[in-house]
Amino acid sequence: MKKHLLIDGQWKETKEYRPLYSPYNNELLAEIAYADAQDVDDAIAAAEKARPVMAKMPAHQRASILEKLVELLTKNEEECTRLLALEAAKPWTTAKAEVARTIMTYKFAAEEARRIHGETIPLDAAPGGEGRITFTLREPVGVVAAITPFNFPMNLVAHKVGPAIAAGNTVVLKPASQTPLTSIFLAELLQEAGLPDGAINVVTGSGSVVGDRLIQDDRVKVITFTGSPAVGIGLRNKAGLKKVTLELGSNSALIVDKGVDIDSIIPRTVTGAFSFAGQVCISLQRVYVHEDLYGEFTEKFIAQTKTLKLGSPLDPETDVSAVISPKDAERAVSWIEEARQSGAVVAAGGGRDGNIVEPTVLLNVDPKQKVSCQEVFAPIVLINKVASVEEAIAYVNDSRYGLQAGIYTNDIFKALHAAEELEVGGVMINDIPTFRVDHMPYGGVKESGIGREGLKYAIEEMTEMKLISIKK
Ligand code: NAP
């Protein structure tokens, strides 16, 4: 029942443990180690000690460890799904899908481990550069600190641990306090897969205590953080010369142009809005629909929303389960209420049953309302009417965030115009902004972050380029 810290290949007891409860029914799941500053220092020291071992490990061996991990995860798919469903209240089918994606992410990491390379540079392109053979190498940075959120506790850990190992780095992993079980299980599997002691260390505990030690320690070379903008920006401000990758939040939007076949996009858009109770960084939060189709779209969207099944995360039939904490359920309902008081129409949902917030559809929402301009991170979507794609683009861009956006249109010129104008890290034409597969470059602009994940791109962030010039 007690879950310890992983430091230098040993499961180490610490002074304090805190209970971990299910967000769905408050059942006690485990007692989790609560690291103190000394534990974090020990974890960094272990990662630093293992640094030369990983840096010298040949690519084929790093790839083999990741391939073995893929095998072990596949064998333990059911257990991973169960842990995810329990600690995050992630509905069974959604949890299963996350496990499948996690396996894919480590597969990509294993493949990328084999093809990390530099390039040759024609220095004679500049006068004085003649007579040299010059090339670059990509070297591992060393110790990577990975801080991860609760909403994809396996796959977002994979997006940090996978590329770090692929590149020959060592890792200190700080999982979200609500979802440590899958990270602990992953570390056990990595040990079984043959990862050397100290190459992965897991420190559970307070975000600020662990985070502060990680950000202040010069032995840590890269901080890779996924989580809320407030915490991420705070880390960046303290990072000094460390490289920092930030994958932060958003209030992702979709544009629906006139002429689109509404029936064909309703199931996808409803899933985009309510999957994992909207607790997805690219969850569909704002929809701007052309006035010609607004009535039909809203009517069909609302009807489909009302068919969603609420309930236990362990029931394979459940579409929407609890949000992560009572505080978040209260916040969601209060934001809906504020929107209602400012003139929005609550066309579906609006209430809560314990920690389950009903899938909620709001119409006619003022852009200044929190449900529009902040990240809701709950099963709430707004649908507003626009007169043109141009007007919709202006609404989408009127945001602190810029992660991904989507546009459904049959007009290639409007699609390309939107792709150019939308201020986001990725534009999905004829799909929802929630689309992601794990090798694509993924990340945001504005307060949605800096840097890119997707294995190849994360490896670039976790390696240093070294130039070597040989004078003939
Ligand atoms: P969060 O509260 O910011 O927590 C994220 C991680 O940071 C957790 O491990 C947390 O630890 C830790 N933390 C908290 N305070 C810290 C501090 N002062 N210094 C260092 N670390 C600290 O975010 P969350 O609620 O778990 O996740 C939801 C957020 O993540 C949303 O904003 C969502 O959009 C964003 N997200 C972004 C992406 C993306 O790829 N762009 C993907 C998924 C989620 P504790 O749990 O112990 O507090």
Domains of the chain: 2-249+447-471 (3.40.605.10), 253-437 (3.40.309.10)
User: How far, in Å, is the centroid of ligand 1 from the Cα of 307?
Assistant: 31
Other residues' Cβ atoms within 10 Å of the Cβ of residue 367: 12
Ranges under pLDDT 70 in the chain: none
Cβ-based neighbours of 385, under 8 Å, separated by 6 or more = 288, 289, 290, 291, 294, 364
User: How far, in Å, is the centroid of ligand 1 from the Cα of 301?
Assistant: 31
User: How far from 49 is each of 4, 108, 197, 219, CA to CA, in Å?
Assistant: 21, 27, 9, 10
Cβ-based neighbours of 390, under 8 Å, separated by 6 or more = none
Residue ID of nearest Cα to ligand 1 atom 34: 249
Residue ID of nearest Cα to ligand 1 atom 12: 207
Q: String of b and e for 409-436 (b: at least 16 CB within 10 Å)?
A: beeeebbebbeeebbbbbbbeebbbbeb
Other residues' Cβ atoms within 10 Å of the Cβ of residue 314: 18
Of ligand 1's listed atoms, the one at least distance from the Cα of 211 is: 20
User: How far, in Å, is the centroid of ligand 1 from the Cα of 406?
Assistant: 24
User: How far, in Å, is the centroid of ligand 1 from the Cα of 311?
Assistant: 25
Q: What is the Cα 66 distance to its own chain's centre?
A: 20
User: How far, in Å, is the centroid of ligand 1 from the Cα of 102?
Assistant: 19
User: How far, in Å, is the centroid of ligand 1 from the Cα of 231?
Assistant: 7
176's tokens: 């979200």
Strand arrangement of the beta sheet that strand 345-348 belongs to: 345-348, 360-363, 380-386, 286-290, 253-256, 404-408, 426-429
Cβ-based neighbours of 34, under 8 Å, separated by 6 or more = 14, 15, 16, 17, 18, 204, 205, 206
Q: Which of 183, 203, 228 to mutate to test the pocket of ligand 1 (most atoms within 8 A of CB)?
A: 228
Residue ID of nearest Cα to ligand 1 atom 14: 207
How much is the mean pLDDT over the chain?
A: 98
Residues serving a catalytic function are: 247, 281
381's tokens: 């979507």
Residue ID of nearest Cα to ligand 1 atom 8: 176
Contact between 386 and 405 (Cβ < 8 Å): no
pLDDT for position 311: 97
Residue ID of nearest Cα to ligand 1 atom 20: 211
Q: Which of 16, 238, 281, 435 to mutate to test the pocket of ligand 1 (most atoms within 8 A of CB)?
A: 281
pLDDT for position 86: 97
Residue 253: exposure state from Cβ atoms within 10 A (0-12, 13-18, ≥19): buried
192's tokens: 């079984």
pLDDT for position 195: 98
User: How far, in Å, is the centroid of ligand 1 from the Cα of 200?
Assistant: 20
- Which residue type is seen at 318? T
Q: Which of 147, 233, 252, 436 to mutate to test the pocket of ligand 1 (most atoms within 8 A of CB)?
A: 147
Contact between 67 and 113 (Cβ < 8 Å): no
Other residues' Cβ atoms within 10 Å of the Cβ of residue 315: 14
Lining residues, ligand 1, CB within 6 Å? 147-152, 156, 174, 176-177, 206-208, 211, 226-228, 231, 234-235, 247-249, 281, 375, 377, 403, 449
Of ligand 1's listed atoms, the one at least distance from the Cα of 247 is: 41
Residue 19 to residue 315: CA distance in whole angstroms: 24
pLDDT for position 467: 98
Q: Which of 248, 374, 377, 437 to mutate to test the pocket of ligand 1 (most atoms within 8 A of CB)?
A: 248
Residue ID of nearest Cα to ligand 1 atom 41: 247
Residue ID of nearest Cα to ligand 1 atom 37: 248
pLDDT for position 174: 98
